[in-house]
Amino acid sequence: MDWKLGIISDEISQDFEHAVKVIKELGASYVEVRNLWNKNVTQLLDSEFSEMKRVVEKYGLIISNLDSPSFKIYIDDEKGYKEHLQILRKVIELSKKLDIAYTRIFTFWYQGELRYYIDKLAERFNSAIDIAQSEGVILVIENEYSCFVGTGKELRTFLDKIRTKWVKVLWDPGNAFFARETPYPDGYELIKGDIMHLHIKDAMVKDGHFIWMPVGKGMINYKEQFRALRGSAHVISLETHYRNSANDPEASTRESFNGIIKILKELS
């Protein structure tokens, strides 16, 4: 199967080498790095960053991207804003060392509908866009249901507001579902031309509650979503969030990854 499949390592374990070993065993080619050894990738010492690279190279895998929590703060938090611009600078610096052309960013914690905050959000993004442009690294907004931009529709609205080639999309159908959007086709169709990376997790509503599910067992139409993505250059990165009855992250990730493979085989 000609798919670029990846897994976020800390969804398996904080023991980075063990996580990478599992990713290799499952058959994915890409490692997405967020938290490892109980710290965010932006907090690594130089020696730890070198060790991270060594481990990935040892198993013949590729780092797809580095995940900082940039702009997962309240929009009026001035101190936090300055700190997060520094976090953004750091993750861009590390990404460039790995020749990665983009990095993830969020859109501040949700406090109300986007239309009430879109001007302030655009203003807050100005400094981040300036940094991205000067460093030649694209910012990819992850649609996050706990932030102002949680759906494909909100992504489209915000991208049309700021109109810059330095901001694209990290599409997360699971987050869109939690934000009460039908991810495919509704959300996807609005932003498909701006996607640079994907996070995959499945979800459903059970007894009135949103819950994460193994990929292929939830309510998201992943068969058609993957069909629409066939032939694209994007890395499809598993971020399962689902936990089995034993609350075992590794076993849960294995279950979800096997769910992805099952769907992709049905397409071939």
Percent of the chain with pLDDT over 70: 100
Query: What tens digit of pLDDT does each residue of 223-256 get?
Result: 999 999 999 999 999 999 999 999 999 999 999 9
**φ, ψ for residue 53, nearest 5 deg:** -60, -40
Ordered structural domains, the chain, with CATH: 1-67+233-268 (no CATH), 69-200 (3.20.20.150)
Residue 140: strand pairing partners: 104, 168
Q: Place 2 in a pLDDT band, splitting at 50, 70 and 90.
A: confident
Label residue 45 exposed, middle or buried (CB < 10 Å: 0-12, 13-18, 19+): exposed
DSSP per residue, 159-170: HHHH--TTEEEE
DSSP 12: T
Residue type (1 letter), 27: G
Q: What is the pLDDT of residues 105-118, one digit of tens each?
A: 999 999 999 999 99
Q: Are 14 and 34 in contact (CB under 8 A)?
A: no
CB 44, CB 71: distance < 8 Å:
no
| pTM, 2 dp | 0.98
Distance CA 38, CA 9 (A): 12
In angstroms, the CA 86 to CA 209 distance is 37
Q: Give the residue among 74, 56, 75, 78 at the shortest CA–CA distance from 65.
A: 56
Does the structure show a pLDDT above 80 at 205?
yes
